[in-house]
């Protein structure tokens, strides 16, 4: 039997169809993956062999150069992202929802199917072993992350900030065991006040609760999810920082955080970054968060966040911002978590 080998120009891996902009002259825009050029295919190897080699590289990736910032929305997550992204060896982007909308639900669906213990079975568990499923998800994840980490140099970090990832830390650690997670905590009363204000603006449409009790429940959910995940994390994986401390002692707090991340930052450059990202003037001078991909094509926007995204950035402003009715609603929902997190509130006034 004679086997016909396709001409070199005709050989496909399938990846260039999904990600045509990642290929140039047969190479992925990824320094690690680009080592797997079409030369292996040109010598007679198949697309399947190419993908198997790609899988082996993906399985080696453990997340050592990606930092996840988590915490409830309006807790200072964006400000912290801008501060860290000011480092000359840091890169960042807009909220990806990578695990909260894409990877995490798939992992949970797999686990739920296996836990159902149905005699006849349902779902992909009827076709794949767990190691096969996880290998496939890792490959999928790595391709989705190509714009985040694909071009990073060895000493560079990517700063990813998606508040909803607070609920998916176990899934993040499962696939990226060497990543670091930074949790920023803010006085729940100020967080709720900020969410209520955001709900009245275009920026908060679709995610910011309009009622104080609902906003408090949203925050409590974030805090409890992170606390539950702490048991799976080592001391060098999770760093918690208080918004109030970052406001009052920005240089000291940021210096300690940089030490935790094991990166060097020239003092003068760091202080300039702090000044440029001062919340009082951040709407005009802050480090910008880039937008790429299809949203850039649709909207024409290159950077995230319009003017007005940063509010007062003043700890304790909840006292003037919230009505007594709103304070009582927050107290009923969040007082236990507040006490546990160092924000005791005996009475709601």
pLDDT in tens, 48-81: 666 666 666 566 789 999 999 999 999 999 999 9
Q: CB-based burial of residue 312 (10 Å sphere; 0-12 exposed, 13-18 middle, 19+ buried)?
A: middle
CB 277 within 8 A of CB 259: no
| 24-28 average pLDDT score | 46
pTM for this model (two decimals): 0.84
Q: How confident is the model at residue 339 (pLDDT cuts 50, 70, 90)?
A: very high
Whether residue 326 has pLDDT greater than 90: yes
Name the percent of the chain lying above pLDDT 70.
79
- Say what the pLDDT of residue 58 is: 62
| 172-187 average pLDDT score | 97
Any alpha helices (H) in 28-129, and if so which ranges?
39-42, 47-60, 77-85, 104-115
Q: How confident is the model at residue 183 (pLDDT cuts 50, 70, 90)?
A: very high
| Helix pair angle (324-340, 188-199), 10° resolution | 140
- Compute the mean pLDDT over every residue in the chain, rounded to the nearest whole number: 85
- Say what the pLDDT of residue 61 is: 87
> DSSP secondary-structure letter at 186?
-
Q: Structural domains in the chain?
A: 61-340 (3.40.50.300)
């Amino acid at each position: 039997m004679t086997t016909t080998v396709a001409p070199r120009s005709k050989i496909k891996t399938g990846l260039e169809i999904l990600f045509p902009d990642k290929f140039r002259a047969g190479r992925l825009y990824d320094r690690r993956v680009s080592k797997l050029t079409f030369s292996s295919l040109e010598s007679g190897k198949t697309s399947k062999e190419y993908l198997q080699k790609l899988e082996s590289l993906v399985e080696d990736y453990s997340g050592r150069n990606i930092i996840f910032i988590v915490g409830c929305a309006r807790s200072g997550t964006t400000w912290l992202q801008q501060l860290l992204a000011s480092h000359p060896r840091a890169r960042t982007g807009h909220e990806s929802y990578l695990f909260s909308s894409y990877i995490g639900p798939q992992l949970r669906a797999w686990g739920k199917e296996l836990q159902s213990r149905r005699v006849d079975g349902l779902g992909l568990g009827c076709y794949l072993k767990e190691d096969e499923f996880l290998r496939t998800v890792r490959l999928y994840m790595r391709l989705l992350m190509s714009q985040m980490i694909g071009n990073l140099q060895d000493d560079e970090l990517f700063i990813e900030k998606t508040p909803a990832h607070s609920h998916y830390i176990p899934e993040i650690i499962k696939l990226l065991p060497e990543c670091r997670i930074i949790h920023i905590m803010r006085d729940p009363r100020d967080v709720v006040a900020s969410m209520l204000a955001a709900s009245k603006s275009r920026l908060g449409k679709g995610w910011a609760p309009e009622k104080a009790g609902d906003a408090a429940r949203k925050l409590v959910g974030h805090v409890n999810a992170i606390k539950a995940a702490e048991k799976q994390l080592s001391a060098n994986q999770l760093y918690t920082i208080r918004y109030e401390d970052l406001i009052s002692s920005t240089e000291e707090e940021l210096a300690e955080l940089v030490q935790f991340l094991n990166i060097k930052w020239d003092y003068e450059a760091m202080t300039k970054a702090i000044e440029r990202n001062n919340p009082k003037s951040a709407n005009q001078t802050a480090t910008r968060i880039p937008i790429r991909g299809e949203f850039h094509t649709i909207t024409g926007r290159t950077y995230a966040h319009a003017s007005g995204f940063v509010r007062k950035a003043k700890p304790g402003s909840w006292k003037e911002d919230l009505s007594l009715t709103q304070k009582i609603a927050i107290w009923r929902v969040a007082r236990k978590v507040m006490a546990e997190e160092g924000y005791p509130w005996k009475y709601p006034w």
